[in-house]
Amino acid sequence: MENLRWRPTVNEREFIEHALQSDLRVDGRHSFDFRKLKISFGREGGSSEVQLGETHVLGYVTAQLVQPYRDRPNEGTLAIFTEFSPMADPAFEPGRPGESAIELGRVVDRGLRESRAVDMESLCVVAGKHVWSVRVDLHILDNGGNLIDAANIAALAALSTFRRPECTVGGDDGQQVIVHDPEVRDPLPLTIHHMPIAVTFAYFGEGNIVVVDPTYKEEAVMGGRMTATINSNGDICAIQKAGGEGVMSGVVMQCLRIASVKAADITSKIKKAVDSYTTEKALKKVKRLPASLPQKINVTDVTMENKGDGELETQTVKASDVQNISKGDEDHRNMKGNSPLIGDRFAKHKQTSTFIGGPSNWDPYSKGVSLSSLRISQLPDPATTSKASSHEEAQPMLTESSNAEVKSTSSSGAAGESEEAQEMGSPKSLKDAVKPKHKRKKKKSDRS
């Protein structure tokens, strides 16, 4: 099939160039304005969707334990995988990534890894044997121009909300790594020292005219481009100018100054979005905690080695357990069993589970909730069934299910449920961000 890249017509090209000479952009922006940025997150941590004007990028972070590189035995690894999905642009073919895809991957990679934005040494578990390998998948869903900036923001947002499972070194020889289930021990956030923000400039008309955040039409018409990855402290993490129009050094310096201003602005937007997401999650978990706190529960750890046995193990402990505190979603996850390692597809399902209940205190931002009150493992009665999907469903569904379920031993069950029903009004999910056109409420079917 022949090249399907969108090529501008002569009229479009001239229109864009002439408008820029009068300092007008086709979409009405000023030369140094970014488009509207919208960051939303998925159910589980580590999943982000960024919309920069028409450009749409999905970021997803996973981690697994691997052997470290020989020359860096006490550092974890970070890898960025970029997917130019054919849905973003008719010119993107599935299969081998084109040169712009590789360039994007390299620029984002340099900005994050080589600037040491993510702390690698904290990802080490057993030096020389086990370290966490963090993998960031960036899927370009819609090419509206300026993919590098949007992908960079998606990667940062996803890394900020990603939580890796906690693991301890133990066992007989002190070398065995035990990975803890997320509901047993709270998963930990990554240590991010600073946020390198990529700002892309497009040059027109022999390098005289500069605009920030070009749309795909402007990109097709531009003479050259430069991406400056800069953080809010003003440190330049990376500059990428691959060919194109020659630009005077004075103009380049001006661009860098503009970039540092923009970087500060975008950093605050990302931080705000991440903060609201994490506090929302923490609130949901805190509200699930009943007024009367139970006694200490036995903590089961799911060992890395035997995934199948681990499930049985948690279930037998459940049977012997007396207390029931959780609002049901804990055992929903326990029933899925399995280790929380993300390399496994099942673990991924666990992360996407409709888990809303169960307190855990991974959130570094929440104040006023004491560690001891939250760090209780939730291993409820096997008789309890969970109402994990209640997040999406309407209120009547919730009360109906709470009547039907056996929330046995906990006296605060009823109180907890009414709180949960209240909670229904406010929870936001990725779906809310997407503006569902037609929300289907619960379906009661009485088919024979």
Partner 1 sequence: MEDTRRADGRSPNQLRPFSCTGNPLHRAHGSARWAQGDTVVLAAVYGPKPGTRKGENPEKASIEVVWKPKTGQIGRQEKEYEMILKRTLQSICMLTVHPNTTTSVVLQVVGDDGSLLPCAINASCAALTFAGIPLKHLTVAIGCGVMENGTVILDTNTAEEQQLKSFAHLVFPNSRKSVDSKEPKEKDEEFERGLITSVTHGVMSEDDYFNCIERGLAASSRISDFMRKTLQKEASSVDA
Binding positions for partner 1, rule: CB under 8 A = 1-2, 4, 42-43, 47, 49, 54, 56, 58, 60, 62, 83, 85-90, 94, 135, 137, 139, 141-144, 216, 332, 335-336, 345-346, 348-349, 352-354, 385-390, 392-394, 397, 401, 404-405, 430-431, 434-447
What is the nearest approach in angstroms of partner 1 to the Cβ of residue 82?
Answer: 12
For the record, the structure tokens of 42 come out as 């998925």
What is the nearest approach in angstroms of partner 1 to the Cβ of residue 199?
Answer: 22
What is the nearest approach in angstroms of partner 1 to the Cβ of residue 96?
Answer: 12
For the record, the structure tokens of 427 come out as 């929870």
Burial class (CB in 10 A: 0-12, 13-18, 19+), 366: middle
Judged by beta carbon, residue 160 or residue 354, the one nearer partner 1 is 354
Count the alpha carbons within 13 Å of 351 in the hemisphere toward its beta carbon: 25
Judged by beta carbon, residue 38 or residue 194, the one nearer partner 1 is 38
- For 401-423, the DSSP string reads HHHHS---S-TTHHHHHHHHHHH
Instruction: Determine the angle formed by the axes of helices 413-423 and 395-404, rounding to 10 degrees.
Output: 160
What is the nearest approach in angstroms of partner 1 to the Cβ of residue 254?
Answer: 31
Q: In b/e form, how buried is each residue of 63-87, taking b as 16+ CB within 10 angstroms?
A: bebeebeeeeeebbbbebebbbeee
Beta-strand relationship, 130-142 and 77-84: parallel
Angle at 112 between CA 109 and CA 118, to 5 degrees: 135
Contact 183, 85 (CB under 8 A): no
User: Which contiguous run of DSSP H or E holds residue 261?
Assistant: helix 249-288
What is the nearest approach in angstroms of partner 1 to the Cβ of residue 241?
Answer: 26
What is the nearest approach in angstroms of partner 1 to the Cβ of residue 310?
Answer: 14
Judged by beta carbon, residue 245 or residue 344, the one nearer partner 1 is 344
